[in-house]
Structure 1
Amino acid sequence: MSAVLSSIYAAAPAATRGQGVHLDTDPKGDNFVYTNGKSVFIRNIAKPEIAREYTQHSCNVTVAKFAPSGYYIASGDERGNVRVWDTVGDEQILKLETKPISGKINDIAWDGESKRIIAVGDGRDKFAHAFFADGGASCGEIIGHSKAVNTAAIRQSRPFRAVTGGDDTTLVFSNGVPFVLNKIIKDHTGFVQEVKFSNDGDLFASVGSDGKIFLYDGKTGDKVKELSTAEHGHSGTVFALSWSADGKRLVTSSADQTAKIWDIETSGVVNTFDYSSSGSVNGQQVGNIWKGDALLSLSLSGDLNYLDPSTSQTSRIIKGHQKGITALAVSEDKKTFLTGSYDGRVMSWEFNDGEGHPLEESSHSNQVMQLVGNGNEFISAGMDDTVKVTDISSKNVAVISTSALPRGISASDDKTIVVATENEIQVIQGGKKVDSLAVGYNATSIAINNQGSTVAVGAQDSKVYVMSLDGTKLSTVHTLAKNRGTISSLSFNPEGTLLAAGDSAGKIFVYDVATGEAKIQRWVFHTARVTSIAWSPSGKHVVSGSLDTNVYVWSTEKEMKKVSIPNAHALGVNGVAFVDEDTVISAGADVCVKTWKITHH
């Protein structure tokens, strides 16, 4: 058997309140790039469901920028590392790894020849460094800042010029190459958030926490004008700016929850895009890109807003998770799947177009523990001590209090729901708790067979307690004791005759439910806690995911026959399922959902 990555449903861009996000596009304007966690994501602008992921950083990535050639990306992380890597093909070959400053990288700028890079951030001994993309040798000195530098830009044609801006409220204008200090500009009265040159290099613009927008001569650094004195300007921090291709307009994104397009000649606002209807800080606009006809502004919530200047309307919004995905379920009709994340958000996704839809009423106030698809409804359990049952068609939501942390949930075909809390097993029918059974062990996971007759409860004592369910009454039948770690995931086969039990040691046993015999004992290749197990429709295969970042697809007919998908999700796999006999879906802490085509040899 073998597996091939079929699709990636990418994370939304990471965003932190009070900080801007530096987005970028390739030179053709086909793709844009951003970061979330330890990953860099490249997505197609017209078809954002087409995505690629780069996962070679060992800590959180803070910024990524395309080289003007389009062949390389330079990405920086919170420890001061910059990696330059190939974007052509799937190998993502590393060209250079260097540590230009001893602290978080805030921004990266390439020169127009794709030869030189300036990286800026919050270092201990310096805040910026200019170096060659080939080899990492210095190509000048960026000096003049006394605090962290937030942004950098290089004029794309000769004579080269560089400008940086930071928390010291100043702009440093440097001649190049090699880069040397020309002048320090002190027009801003707040943090400088972003600087960018126009495409022809005649002008550069700066924006900051003071809400100001200044224009400067691209060759001399002399101030040309201030845009922010215009009527209908921003009333809060301006986090980001981008120029139009012809250099006659620019777009700005602000904490006042608007994005605005400015006319350079008239110094006036041409368009305003308002996102304040969200009723919270999530509507703050923290980043943007403008390349050709593609004009996007990023919300603090991670929403990517496609702006239409001809109507001053948002033509499209791409939504996603910003925090690690902790739960996954596939709908019975296999047309949609559901995800829950660390921050409590629940979303529905269409397989055919990759669009994510937040389900606000179904979301939780804390981490989503588990999701289960069941006919025309799905069930979610959260760390807010509730189970929610959502009707997929009507979106009606029933909320059931569990009075304790739900460690696991499961549902049968007749819509009986079982919930495991630490010392109690609860039975829910018709949207109400109808019975419960106190247990003398710490329950950690639970499963009910499709027929609704048998319940399995995993425990911290490494045992699985098999129970019969008669109506609403539970009674223990026998105990399964082959596992050697806390039982972390349970799943019945479609017929309800076999039970797969994964544990904290990374081992999976498959038991005969009737006899308690361990039918399969050699699925031992995970090296950390098994987080999720699911059976294929035929019952001939089982998929498992683990904190070890790996996914395995196992054969129940040939015990040692398996497919290994190493490093499926950086930081760990939290959910797996079969879409059909030949397609597996997985989700993880890298905030991604991925589908894999399985070939059964």
Structure 2
Amino acid sequence: MSLELKHVFASLPQMERGVAKVIGGDPKGNNFLYTNGKCVIIRNIENPAIADIYTEHAHAVTVAKYAPSGYYIASGDASGKVRIWDTTQKEHILKYEYTPISGKIKDIAWTEDSKRIAVVGDGREKFGAVFLWDSGSSVGEVSGHAKLINSVDIRQKRPYRLATASDDTCGSFFEGPPFKFKFTLRDHSQFVNCVRFSPDGSRFVTAGADGQIFVYDGTNGELVCSLGGEKAHKGGVYAVSWSPDSSQLISASGDKTVKLWDVGAGTAVTTFNLGTDVTDQQLGCLWQKDHLLTISLSGYINYLDKNNPGRPIRTIKGHSKSIQCLTVHKKDGRPYIYSGKTGENDCFSGKGHSNQVSKMVTDEANELVTCSMDDTLRYTNINKTEYSASDVVKMDFQPKSVSVAAGGLSLAVCIGQIVLLKDKKKVFTLDNLDYEPEVGAIHPGGTTAVVGGADGKIHLYSIQGNTLKDQGKTIEAKGAITDMAYSNDGAYLAAVDDKKVATTFTVADGYSVKDEFYGHHARPVTLAWSPDNEHFATSGMDMMVFIWTIGDPDNRIKLADTHRLHHVSGLAWVNEHTLVTTSHDASIKQWTVKY
């Protein structure tokens, strides 16, 4: 029995309003990289579904850049640490680690020989440093600024030049190595967000919150011109990226546009309008070979089409915040994965839940049924993929779990309350319970509902018409129930509890215990049945995922460190050989299971 990672659906970049996002590109032009939380995400530019995630930072990673050789990546985090690691091995072996400044790192630049690194940000004693990559010894100093430095770049030709951009409304120009401060660039009137040298080294530009972009001589730092005359953009400019031939560049702005500039003429050739919503503000960009990429405040990654500025060629959507739950649904014979996160919706249009989605399932009417901390249940037609304002059921208390069965039945377990729904309407409510309900499940036959309690018992109810009748029967578990589900054929009920035990019960035999499964070191939080009804998966706070075999508790597959930084918060099966996991790292992974 074995498990093998098949796909990673990586998270989007984590965005902050008014803060530029640096996207790195690899020198061969195949990959691009960005950060989210403690992760560095490397994605294939042609096929973004191919992704790799580096998770070795102890603090939130803020920027990552490839060395010009392509063999290493330097990534910097909020604590001021820089890690230089290998890109060629799957393990990403750490080469060196330094702490050049004592606060958040905002940008990193390498010299073209991959030997020197400049790092800038928000330090306490200093705002930047330049050092040798293999020894950490200094090769000059980054001085001349009174506030944090947002951006740094190094000319990729000798003689080397270094330029910085800062919140003190100035840029600085350095000669070297060793790098020495030459003079201050005082052309901007507000924060300077980005500085970038052209690939041929002849020019560099600075972009600022004042909507202006200035072009300077790459060798002596003299001002050449400003792009677009008075102003380049109506809003602040957060990022610029040069074309490989150094004749053009793209700029990303808070005015929700990206502009393509002919630098020689100083004019915009094309303007891309990326929307009207606040989340359409453009905070990062990258020109990689023929690809023009930008990042919206929503975290969406847009591939721009030079020949059709009206709409992007493609937009990569996904999650940028922690994922709480997921489910799989077959549509036209193809499986689709649906995942729920904090707040905003991903691929459904319309107004979605306003708070964290805590559980989701799909019903026989092709609807995604979700419950959320916003105290609602929602029924969303999967074929229409948009939220409907009418199919929202308001609950008296916050729902923790939802399950569905044939005949339009849903069971919602809320704090201190159990609600039976039929055809999207509440038909029966149980209050004043003598236990705290945690999770519920309806038998696929639609005749029985079970509710797992914090009292370590599973309570049985029969569904009679539109009512729930307490059968006066409980099933004992080892501890408080954290999750449970019926097998798809209704033959078994599986439950996990806070005493780290998974138990299966035989339904036909009056819910007698069939097997007990031990292996988790910490509380299991979720379980999911395989379509073959012979296996089920559990995941726990111990970062482990187990796949168990009915009738043989010793025959199991164990997967440690599935998502490395966080426990697995959601499990679902695509088919009997494919398991999907998700976590608070905002990524989704697909695994191939062999028995």
Q: Distance in 2 between matches of 1:562 and 1:74?
A: 39
Which of these residues, 366, 373, 377, is aligned with residue 387 of structure 1? Answer: 377
* Amino acid paired to 1:443: P
Q: Distance in 2 between matches of 1:251 and 1:394?
A: 36
Counterpart secondary structure, 2:279: helix
Q: Distance in 1 between matches of 2:56 and 2:84?
A: 11
Using a 3 Å threshold, how does the CA distance of structure 1 residues 166 and 505 change in structure 2: closer, same or farther? farther
Paired residue for 2:457? 463
Q: Distance in 2 between matches of 1:4 and 1:517?
A: 34
Paired residue for 1:108? 108
Q: Distance in 2 between matches of 1:46 and 1:306?
A: 10
Q: Distance in 2 between matches of 1:395 and 1:343?
A: 17
Q: Distance in 1 between matches of 2:194 and 2:546?
A: 44
Which of these residues, 327, 330, 341, is aligned with residue 329 of structure 1? Answer: 327
Q: Distance in 2 between matches of 1:243 and 1:17?
A: 24
Paired residue for 1:215? 215
Paired residue for 2:539? 545
2:280 counterpart of 1:291: no
Paired residue for 2:497? 503
Using a 3 Å threshold, how does the CA distance of structure 1 residues 443 and 360 change in structure 2: closer, same or farther? farther
**Conservation of the 8 A alpha-carbon contact between 2:250 and 2:260:** yes
Paired residue for 1:488? 482
2:405 counterpart of 1:412: yes
Cα RMSD of the aligned pairs, angstroms, is 1.7
State the shift of 1:519 in Å: 2.6
2:553 counterpart of 1:555: no
Q: Distance in 2 between matches of 1:294 and 1:596?
A: 30
Paired residue for 1:87? 87
State the shift of 1:261 in Å: 0.8
* Amino acid paired to 2:262: D
Q: Distance in 2 between matches of 1:503 and 1:99?
A: 43
Which of these residues, 387, 408, 422, is aligned with residue 429 of structure 1? Answer: 422
State the shift of 1:338 in Å: 0.5
Q: Distance in 2 between matches of 1:391 and 1:276?
A: 26
**Conservation of the 8 A alpha-carbon contact between 1:215 and 1:223:** yes
Q: Distance in 1 between matches of 2:555 and 2:98?
A: 42
Q: Distance in 1 between matches of 2:505 and 2:516?
A: 9
Greater shift, 127-136 or 6-15, is seen at 127-136
Paired residue for 1:44? 44
Counterpart secondary structure, 2:552: coil
State the shift of 1:403 in Å: 2.0
**Counterparts in 2 of 1:242-391, with a 5 A limit?**
242-277=241-276, 280-313=277-310, 314-332=312-330, 333=333, 335-345=335-345, 347=346, 358-361=347-350, 363-375=352-364, 376-391=366-381
State the shift of 1:515 in Å: 3.4
Paired residue for 2:163? 163
**Conservation of the 8 A alpha-carbon contact between 1:306 and 1:315:** yes
Paired residue for 1:441? 435
Greater shift, 554-563 or 206-215, is seen at 554-563
Q: Distance in 1 between matches of 2:529 and 2:222?
A: 67
**Conservation of the 8 A alpha-carbon contact between 1:442 and 1:460:** yes
* Amino acid paired to 1:388: R
State the shift of 1:362 in Å: 6.7
Paired residue for 2:234? 235
Greater shift, 215-224 or 394-403, is seen at 394-403
**Conservation of the 8 A alpha-carbon contact between 2:520 and 2:544:** no
* Amino acid paired to 1:241: V
2:445 counterpart of 1:451: yes
State the shift of 1:505 in Å: 4.5
In structure 1, list runs of 5 or more residues that go unmatched. Answer: 348-357
* Amino acid paired to 2:411: V
Counterpart secondary structure, 1:288: strand
**Conservation of the 8 A alpha-carbon contact between 1:507 and 1:526:** no
Q: Distance in 1 between matches of 2:69 and 2:426?
A: 61
Counterpart secondary structure, 2:313: strand
**Conservation of the 8 A alpha-carbon contact between 1:37 and 1:590:** yes
State the shift of 1:70 in Å: 1.2
* Amino acid paired to 1:381: C
Counterpart secondary structure, 1:276: coil
Q: Distance in 1 between matches of 2:351 and 2:263?
A: 46
Which of these residues, 468, 472, 479, is aligned with residue 474 of structure 1? Answer: 468
Q: Distance in 2 between matches of 1:431 and 1:5?
A: 38
Which of these residues, 576, 581, 586, is aligned with residue 591 of structure 1? Answer: 586
* Amino acid paired to 1:107: D
**Conservation of the 8 A alpha-carbon contact between 1:324 and 1:588:** yes
Identity of aligned residues (%): 39
**Conservation of the 8 A alpha-carbon contact between 1:362 and 1:390:** no
Using a 3 Å threshold, how does the CA distance of structure 1 residues 395 and 52 change in structure 2: closer, same or farther? closer
Counterpart secondary structure, 2:525: strand
Q: Distance in 1 between matches of 2:298 and 2:92?
A: 29
**Conservation of the 8 A alpha-carbon contact between 1:362 and 1:388:** no
Q: Distance in 1 between matches of 2:190 and 2:23?
A: 22
Paired residue for 2:394? 401
Q: Distance in 2 between matches of 1:491 and 1:443?
A: 15
TM-score by length of 1: 0.94
* Amino acid paired to 1:130: V
Aligned residue pair count? 584
Q: Distance in 2 between matches of 1:414 and 1:473?
A: 14
Q: Deviations over 1:180-228 (max 9, x none)?
A: 2122222212111111100001111110111110111111111111114
Which of these residues, 530, 538, 561, is aligned with residue 567 of structure 1? Answer: 561
**Conservation of the 8 A alpha-carbon contact between 1:64 and 1:75:** yes
Using a 3 Å threshold, how does the CA distance of structure 1 residues 216 and 2 change in structure 2: closer, same or farther? same
State the shift of 1:230 in Å: 5.3
State the shift of 1:374 in Å: 2.1
The ranges of structure 1 where at least 4 consecutive aligned residues each deviate by more than 4 angstroms after the TM superposition are: none
Counterpart secondary structure, 1:282: helix
**Counterparts in 2 of 1:19-168, with a 5 A limit?**
19-168=19-168
* Amino acid paired to 2:3: A
Using a 3 Å threshold, how does the CA distance of structure 1 residues 362 and 532 change in structure 2: closer, same or farther? farther
State the shift of 1:465 in Å: 1.6
State the shift of 1:556 in Å: 1.8
Q: Deviations over 1:322-348 (max 9, x none)?
A: 111111000045521111101242x4x
Q: Distance in 1 between matches of 2:443 and 2:89?
A: 44
**Conservation of the 8 A alpha-carbon contact between 1:256 and 1:284:** yes
Q: Distance in 1 between matches of 2:381 and 2:542?
A: 34
* Amino acid paired to 1:380: T
Q: Deviations over 1:12-56 (max 9, x none)?
A: 111100100000111121111001111111111111111111111
**Conservation of the 8 A alpha-carbon contact between 1:230 and 1:268:** no
State the shift of 1:526 in Å: 4.0
Q: Deviations over 1:545-581 (max 9, x none)?
A: 2233322212223202222222212222111011111
**Conservation of the 8 A alpha-carbon contact between 1:414 and 1:451:** no
Q: Deviations over 1:482-519 (max 9, x none)?
A: 222x3221111123232221234543222334434333
Paired residue for 1:352? none
Q: Deviations over 1:415-472 (max 9, x none)?
A: 3110001111111111211112222222221112211222221222232222222232
Q: Distance in 2 between matches of 1:336 and 1:554?
A: 24
Greater shift, 179-188 or 148-157, is seen at 179-188
* Amino acid paired to 1:515: G
Q: Distance in 2 between matches of 1:362 and 1:453?
A: 34
